[in-house]
Amino acid sequence: MDKIKVKTIMEERQISIKQFIKAVERLPEDDPNSYSRQMDRTQKDHWLGWLDGYFGPGYYGRKNWNRDAKFAYNHVVCPELLLYLVRAIPLRADLVEAAEIAYQSGSTLMAKAAAIRKVVPWSEIYQALWANERLSL
């Protein structure tokens, strides 16, 4: 008799930018030497600054400030920002490895970021950060 594997996936709820910021704040610090942008000391700082920009026009002159965490994740162009997140959260090792390989595949920042998101879509980020929370939270 064949065994049937059932994968239980929690239905995603909308995660606000504030909730995403709180999740990033709980992540470990990364090496300040791994990131040379003067505006941010680390990729963690870069995430926090990027997300904070969603409360107003930010660096990019955003006109719509009513965005959620999924939108923000899917619009990051900096692949190193995505790699930091992928490495810092509790993801399966094969997904982390796939993201690192994807990073090498692109020729532009946008292509590298898209390749990473293809192997680690928002649903994986959501599961890693919020799957264990109760729906009432």
pLDDT tens for 103-124 read 999 899 999 999 999 999 999 9
Cα distance between residue 30 and residue 43, in whole Å: 7
* pLDDT above 90 (res 14): yes
Task: Name residues whose C-beta falls within 8 Å of residue 65's C-beta, 6 or more positions apart in sequence.
Answer: 54, 55, 56, 57
* pLDDT above 90 (res 26): yes
More confident residue, 106 or 80: 80
Cα distance between residue 120 and residue 114, in whole Å: 10
More confident residue, 23 or 38: 23
Alpha helix (H) residue ranges in the chain: 17-25, 43-52, 69-74, 79-88, 93-105, 109-119, 122-130
For all residues of the chain together, what is the average pLDDT? 84
